[in-house]
Amino acid sequence: MASPRPETKLYEQIAARVRGMILDRIYRPGDRLPSVRELSRQSGVSVTTVLDAYRLLEDQGLIHPRPQSGYYVHAYANVQSAEPVLKAPATSPAHFTRDEMLQSMTHEVDRPGLIELAFANPNPDLLPLAKLARLVSTVAREHPEASYGYGPPSGHRAIREQIAQRAFAAGAVISPDEVVITMGCQEAMCLALRAVCKPGGVVAVESPCHYGVLQAIHLAGLRSLEIVTRTREGISLDALERTLIEQRELGSPVEACLVSPNFQNPLGSSMSDDDKRELNEIANRHDLVLIEDDVYGDLAFEGGRPKVLRAFEGGENVVLCSSFSKTIAPGYRVGWVVAGKWHTQIERLKHSFTISAPSLPQLVIADFLTNGGYDQYLRRARKAYASNVGRMSEAIARYFPPETRVTRPSGGYVLWVQLPDHVDSVTLYTRALEQNIFISPGVLFSTDDGYRRFIRLSASRWSPEIEGAIAKLGKMAHQ
């Protein structure tokens, strides 16, 4: 005999009240909710009841807990847009052909009054720029010769030590001697591809894929082969393995896979630990070199620092590329590569390319990392990015046509937006630019034209002006 359907429980009533306040935007994405104790006192219910209510809301994806901090409104609590349906990737390897378009875009950035949503720049308002300026002064004054000279070929030891220490939080045990400092993640990837692949080779990439990756592959004389990628969970391992087998049968085996397991650009997807482990296994099974782009790894919206592939069995020879361009300062151009058995070769290539990295920015970042300002800054930045991404998602849901679909990134600060069928993103790009709004058309993120109905927006900043720009974009997308 079934028990009778229960009346609405007390905790459900509490949950409904909080949900109402979230939907009415009294609590907005990123806001902290009242503490359990506080709400218990205010509502005259037990702490257990409030906890049950919060857990219900958590299950519904509206809020999430942060250790030692309480419950927060989830970034996408109010977002109604569906998630994008990605195109089927091209089935044969191809060269990137959008260099010219990208080049013309880099010349637009300086337009006065431009609302810049195209490039994935970190939010300068979050950064302790005054503190960095003080560090710059100190380093230049106290180490004039170090900041002036060529410096060691792999980079200054101080920063290599900091990178090795921080890798521990990402589950990897790395020695400072394994780190080679590069000109941002871009040079790291260029060097890795040169070291690992033979000219004319094929590199598997996520689809969509950051244009910088496609450029690096093209520059190394290699072709990109896009693999189906899920908007939240990252690259499809089934599709990858199938492709590896097919390409080998075709006599054009995939030599490397350049992959971004943590907060991929432009999807914001994250691979699970199980998938990372399996990816290593696939690589070992198929003699595939993994090149990992972890440039957004420090920018999780919630939870701890996600692991890198080297944290899992079989990951010793994953070539790890990253930089401080998305966290501290793009203009410092401090990136790095940890290259396992390719270390010697990469160090040699680095010398032929650019001799060594500039000294001053390395020493400044090393100081910033050492003196502990970085973690505090990261906490603030991660929260702000989660909130800004949520707000931009909301604004898109409000102002864009209802068929518009938007990703739900779990880190980083970009959104990948699928526009209604009638909208061409290259046309939208041009029309937006006429109104001083700068966006990235989706065609930059593939070797073919399959993402012509997509755009990428950077949500690192949020302001009424940016909301106005989203409203204008939405209006254009309606036409």
- Residue 479 interacts with a second copy (CB under 8 A)? no
- Residue 333 and residue 361: Cα distance in Å, rounded? 8
Between residue 286 and residue 325, which ones bind a second copy under the rule CB under 8 A? 325
Exposed (0-12), middle (13-18) or buried (19+): which is 273, by Cβ within 10 Å?
middle
The SS3 call for residue 172 is coil
Half-sphere exposure at residue 186, Cβ-oriented, CA atoms within 13 angstroms: 16
Give CA–CA dist 276/264, Å, rounded: 14
**Rule CB under 8 A: which of 391-450 touch a second copy?**
none
Least distance to a second copy, CB of residue 265, Å: 14
Given candidates 90, 219, 282, 471, which one binds a second copy under the rule CB under 8 A? 219
Compute how many residues bind a second copy; rule: CB under 8 A: 63
Number of Cβ within a 10 Å radius of residue 230: 16
Q: Is 114 in the site for a second copy (CB under 8 A)?
A: no
User: Considering only 218-226, 246-254, 285-293, 377-385, which stretch makes contact with a second copy by CB under 8 A?
Assistant: 218-226
- 151 touching a second copy, by CB under 8 A: yes
Q: Report the distance separating Cα 242 and Cα 236, nearest Å.
A: 10
Q: Is 9 in the site for a second copy (CB under 8 A)?
A: no
Under rule CB under 8 A, residue 222 binds a second copy: no
Single out the segment in contact with a second copy by CB under 8 A; choices: 76-84, 99-107, 309-317, 452-460: 99-107
Tell me the three state secondary structure of residue 86: coil
Which residue, 332 or 454, has its beta carbon nearer to a second copy? 332
For a second copy, the closer CB: 116 or 206:
116
Cα 337 to Cα 178, 323, 389, distances in angstroms: 8, 9, 29
Q: E strand or H helix at 321, and its extent?
A: strand 319-323
Nearer CB in complex with a second copy: 62/328:
328
Q: How far is the C-alpha of 329 from the C-alpha of 334, rounded, in Å? A: 8
Task: Name which of 214 and 279 has its Cβ closer to a second copy.
Answer: 214
**Locus of tokens 């199938």:** 242
Long-range pairs, 429-432, Cβ under 8 A, ≥24: 429/455, 431/476, 432/472, 432/473, 432/476
Name which of 330 and 373 has its Cβ closer to a second copy: 330
Of the candidates 34, 20, 64, 59, the one whose C-alpha atom is nearest the C-alpha of residue 390 is 64
Quick one: 144 or 303, whose CB is closer to a second copy?
144
| Helix ranges, 168-210 (H) | 184-196
Binding mask 361-390 for a second copy (x = CB under 8 A): x-----------------------------
Range in contact with a second copy (rule: CB under 8 A) among 87-95, 184-192, 276-284, 411-419: 184-192
151 SS3 class: coil
Question: Among residues 8 and 103, whose Cβ is nearest to a second copy?
Answer: 103
| Closest separation in Å from C-beta 380 to a second copy | 16
Among 344, 376, 430, 463, binds a second copy (CB under 8 A): 344
Candidates 278, 318, 356; CA nearest to 178 is 318
Residue type, 453: R
- Selection from 419, 412, 386 nearest residue 72 by Cα: 386
Give the one residue of 22, 63, 126, 136 binding a second copy; rule: CB under 8 A: 136
Pairing of strands 414-418, 454-458: antiparallel
Question: Binder to a second copy among 33, 56, 181, 190 (CB under 8 A)?
Answer: 190
Omega within 30 of 0 (cis) for the link into 409: no
Q: Which of 216, 366, 397, 457 binds a second copy (CB under 8 A)?
A: 216
Binding segment toward a second copy, per CB under 8 A, in 3-11, 116-124, 416-424, 468-476: 116-124
Side-chain half-sphere exposure of 300, counting CA atoms within 13 A: 16
State the residues that interact with a second copy by CB under 8 A: 99-100, 102-103, 106-107, 109-110, 119, 121, 124, 127, 129-130, 132-133, 136-137, 140-141, 144-153, 183-184, 186-187, 190, 199, 212, 215-216, 218-219, 221, 325, 329-333, 344, 347-349, 351-361
